[in-house]
Amino acid sequence: MLDDSTYRACPACEHENASRIAAYSPDPWDMVACDNCGFVYLRNAPDYEVLEEDLAWEKTYVAKKESSGAGSTMFSPLARRIRNALKMRREKTASFRRWFNDGHVLDIGCGWGQLIQPPMTPYGIELSTGLHRIADERMRDRGGFCLHGAGAERIWDFDEGHFDGVIMHSYLEHEKQVMDVLKGAHRALKSTGAVFIRVPNFGSLNRRVIGPKWCGFRYPDHVNYFTLQSLRDVAARAGFTTELVNKFTLPVDDNISVLLRKSNS
């Protein structure tokens, strides 16, 4: 059950003190910036059990789409035209195959399990009960499987060095235990492997213009809000180097896409 009174520490650096961002804190949600590292996050994030059923992605996505008002479209059409002109929505299968060497690939927060295509072998972790059933059946047909549960917990059930690639596509913004899942991915990844992450871009021009109506705000299932710098910082703490994928389009992109590799140090 959701407990609005339970505050969490900063998921990036574990510092306890944070400053409330009133403009982005609709009742009862408490959006804050960490007083130590500046990371922006939802302090009273719901428990996994609530996200698993009552606030599952397939339910909150529809609610968010229906509730978006006219204010959210003031700048979005222009930004969308720019993104389309720059071909920022290209399908990623070819890149995944190149980055992950057509190997064993884990998709955390995999939804219905459509991102990993043959000849890659798909594995997944999915919190939503309904989506997990679909993904597991699909992945077993292609030689892999999907685990049910929270990514930061189930990632540790895989063998060390098992994967050629890990995908966190529209996932890390949902995960309360950011460092746990990144460290788990580091452990489960081969030395030659890579992690692809796509998260909403809190530093985007669109968010700065639209403010509270920005499409990246979803209460309460988006619990972390990354800039490129804060994403690099948490990745480094988990032992990764960061390569920006959408380097030319980032200022007008509502998302950040990066590739992580194990650091040599």
DSSP string, 38-68: --EEETTPPPHHHHHTTT-HHHHHHHHHHH-
pTM of the full predicted structure? 0.86
List the structure tokens of 66: 């229906």
18-262 architecture in CATH? 3-Layer(aba) Sandwich (3.40)
Q: What is the CA radius of gyration of the chain?
A: 18
Q: What is the DSSP letter of 226?
A: B
Contact 29, 220 (CB under 8 A): yes
Give pLDDT, residue 72.
42
d(CA 191, CA 124): 20
Contact 43, 32 (CB under 8 A): yes
Tokens 């007083």 found at: 35
Contact 124, 135 (CB under 8 A): yes
Q: What is the DSSP letter of 16?
A: S
Give pLDDT, residue 250.
92
Give, for 161, the enclosing helix (H) or strand (E): none
Do you find a cis peptide bond into 28, omega within 30 degrees of 0?
A: yes
Handedness of CA 261, 252, 41, 52 (dihedral sign): negative
Nearest-CA neighbor of 245 among 137, 169, 192? 169
d(CA 24, CA 213): 9
Residue-by-residue pLDDT tens, the chain, 265 positions? 344 447 999 999 999 999 999 999 999 999 999 999 999 999 999 887 666 555 554 555 445 445 444 444 444 555 555 555 555 556 789 999 999 999 999 999 999 999 999 999 999 999 999 999 999 999 999 999 999 999 999 999 999 999 999 999 999 999 999 999 999 999 999 999 999 999 999 999 999 999 999 999 999 999 999 999 999 999 999 999 999 999 989 988 999 999 999 998 5
Q: What is the pLDDT of residues 15-68, one digit of tens each?
A: 999 999 999 999 999 999 999 999 999 999 988 766 655 555 455 544 544 544
Give pLDDT, residue 1.
38
Give pLDDT, residue 73.
42
Q: What is the DSSP letter of 138?
A: H
Give pLDDT, residue 71.
42
Q: What is the DSSP letter of 157?
A: G
